[in-house]
Amino acid sequence: MAVKRILTIDNTADLAILKQVSTPVAAVDDDVRALMDDMLETMYDAPGIGLAAVQIGDLRRVVVMDLGDAPAAEGEDDEPASEEEAARRANPRFFVNPEVLWASDELYTYEEGCLSIPEYFDAVERPARVRVAYLNREGERVEEEISGLYAVCFQHELDHLNGVLFIDHLSRLRRDRAAAKVKKVMRSREAA
């Protein structure tokens, strides 16, 4: 497993890749699982809760996610008492060729962020519930109805696979503000 560089919108070449539509995966094999492992390590290192393959420059329709929502073991409190306990509750999820089959009319607004748009957050409105399909880490087709943060993250990452960034859902003024902030953040990181 290896931590990969995450593409960011302040870099013209990175942005050109991020705006591309990813291609379907023919089969979940060891190569795809190795990609997912690298993506998970990269996401945890960032740290983030979701990552699409395009964000590390790979144009395959692959997403990893960990909302840290694994259920508590019997006898444990719902809230982890330490970082070690929280790490034990990690709940990595793997999605190959994800798609939305149905979306509710009811909307949900969430303040989203993105590893490719560092340190910028803004409210985005998306369907509150979606029925989704994808291949899991073993290549088995899964269909499920999801809601809340899980649905937000799934739709956010699916957008990445379609060349759409969360700021594309915002007004032009807010998109420009996001781009300016990211340039400033990246300059300060390079100076450090």
Write out the catalytic residue numbers: 157
Furthest CA-CA distance within the chain:
51
Residue 68, CA distances (Å) to 22, 54, 91, 111, 129 in order = 26, 23, 5, 18, 20
Helices and strands, number each (H, E), in the chain = 5, 7
Report how far Cα 23 is from the mean position of its chain's Cα atoms: 17
Residue 144, CA distances (Å) to 55, 135, 141, 157 in order = 25, 12, 10, 16
d(C-alpha 71, C-alpha 33), whole Å: 24
For residues 182 and 120, the answer to whether their CB atoms sit within 8 Å is yes
